[in-house]
Amino acid sequence: MRSTASILHLDLDAFFAAVEQRDKPSLRGKPVIVGGTGGRGVVSTASYEAREFGVGSAMSGREARARCPHAAFLSGRFHAYRDTSKRVMQVLRELSPLVEPLSLDEAFVDLAAADLPDLEVATVTAAGAELRRRVQEVTGGLTATVGIASSKFLAKVASELDKPDGMTVVAPGTELDLLRPMKVKVIPGVGPATAERLRRAGIHTVADLEAVAEGELVRLLGQAQGHGLWQLARAQDSRPVVSEREAKSISVEGTYDSDLTDRKLMEGLLSRQAREVGTRMRKNGFSGRTVTIKVRLYDFTTLNRSSTLTSPTDDGATIARIARSLLADLDTTGGVRLLGVGVSGLADWVQEDLFGETAEDEEAEVVLPEPPRRTWPPGADVVHDEMGAGWVWGSGSGVVTVRFETADTPPGPVRSFRIDDPALHRWEPPAEE
């Protein structure tokens, strides 16, 4: 914990849904739900209008439909979210060189590294207000909520207090006044199981937790968690803001037209990517110790899993084997949109392969399923030769219905076409790597 409120946490409000409302004027002010469109899908983000009906993240699409049947259910457009996120992160980096993104819509900013005259409450408050104004400006009207405090923990707690479109600055010295009345689950790492254990011990609030001796917490929860909670109950958190490391890495990834569900196919794709990574590493004379896979699920959750070897490798078969074993631990039953493999922690020398042999192992032949010739997921961007840009309002029975409007137009007209109408095209930005 610092003596100044110099850590800022920014969280965009209902991010995916807000991007959809920006780009689809007819949906502004209406319940919008991103995700949960397919049979197995879950809600990724609900707009505040949908939250009023009790719809929330991670709820099944079926339940969301029951609670808010008149909502617009959209399948999501990752390219638009990524592009908007980039603009926000750029604004944060203009404020301070020390930015730690947590996800597309959330980041810590170290104000101590910013070019501010001082770190008084009034100064950081003004910086936070200006930042929120800039975010709105560069995103075409999206709002963010900001928390500013003396630690990451408190900054994150503070950014939850005034959602949406708000800001809370916790003055140094008042951290415990804020925390004490809060429920223990405000503390990171206190999930339902830990909260239940604490509840049985009569511990409900942070104040209750603060009154418990460290030894007793360790007995209750084990050394690591007990000690951690004892510290956080006192607002003691000295974790620094760490900007993305400029670690050298080589990676290959692919996005897929239809969600992948076949594990054998996913393994085959990862293996193929791993071989390509290995080839590129050898061409550049590099090797690395950390193999990472990236898996984006149907609901846009992106999972990264890594494994670090004792010695560097540049061998595709080795990288593939590790990638497949990392995939084995993930639940991909809902479908996968993106797969990638990377190797980092590069060294310019190669030691003997950890596995001793580099023979190609047996791999399933990789044949991507033919994507449905033309799919029209709800919410997807389309262009019609005469009508121009719009988005898929719905489809079925051989007909696709499109609303022709964009972020820069008023709410537009709805037209229907045969699904194989040659004048109608899906629109996606060119892939960038």
Alpha-carbon gap, residue 23 to 315, rounded angstroms: 45
Which is nearer to Mg ion, 47 or 332 (by Cβ)? 47
- Per the CB < 8 A criterion, the answer to whether 179 and 191 are in contact is no
Q: Is residue 11 close enough to count as binding Mg ion by CB under 5 A? A: yes
- Nearest distance in Å: CB 374, Mg ion: 33
CB of 148 to Mg ion, least distance (A): 17
d(CA 75, CA 35): 5
Shortest distance, CB of residue 15 to Mg ion, whole angstroms?
5
Cβ proximity to Mg ion, 49 vs 314, nearer residue: 49
Min separation Cβ 259 and Mg ion, Å: 24
Residue closer to Mg ion by CB (options 11, 314) is 11
Does 101 participate in binding Mg ion (rule CB under 5 A)? no
Known active-site residue 106: yes
| Helix spans in 204-313 (H) | 206-210, 214-221, 223-232, 263-284
Residues 6+ apart with CB under 8 A from 74: 20, 32, 33, 34, 37, 378, 379
Binding segment toward Mg ion, per CB under 5 A, in 1-9, 13-21, 198-206, 388-396:
13-21
Binding segment for Mg ion (CB under 5 A), chosen from 7-15, 32-40, 320-328, 341-349, is: 7-15
35, two tokens: 């995700």
Tell me the DSSP string of 151-174.
Answer: SHHHHHHHHTTT-SS-EEE--TT-
- How many residues appear in the chain? 433
The only residue of 105, 237, 299, 381 in contact with Mg ion, by rule CB under 5 A:
105
Binding positions for Mg ion, 301-320, rule CB under 5 A: none
The two three-digit tokens of residue 222, written as one number: 């084990």
Handedness of CA 73, 79, 82, 83 (dihedral sign): negative
- Of residues 11 and 49, the one with the C-beta less far from Mg ion: 11
Using alpha carbons, select from 10, 8, 12 the residue that is nearest to residue 110. Answer: 8
Q: How many residues touch Mg ion (CB under 5 A)?
A: 4
Which range, of 3-11, 249-257, 279-287, 326-334, touches Mg ion by CB under 5 A? 3-11
> Could you tell me which of 119, 93, 122 has the C-alpha nearest to residue 10?
93
Rounded to a whole number of angstroms, the minimum distance from the CB of residue 158 to Mg ion is 14
- Please tell me whether residue 33 adopts helix, strand or coil conformation: strand
115 is in an annotated binding site: no
**Nearer Cβ to Mg ion (105/405):** 105
Q: Does residue 45 interact with Mg ion by CB under 5 A?
A: no
Which structure tokens are listed for 158?
């503070």
In angstroms, give the least distance from the CB of 12 to Mg ion. 5
* CA distances (Å), origin 261, targets 129, 292, 360, 369, 399: 45, 20, 25, 10, 27
Stretch that binds Mg ion, among 14-22, 80-88, 190-198, 322-330 (CB under 5 A): 14-22
- 14 φ/ψ sector (left φ>0, alpha ψ -120 to 50, else beta): left
Residue 420 assigned as binding residue: no
Residues annotated as binding site? 11, 105
Judged by the rule CB under 5 A, the positions of this chain that interact with Mg ion are: 11-12, 15, 105
Question: Which residues are known catalytic residues?
Answer: 106
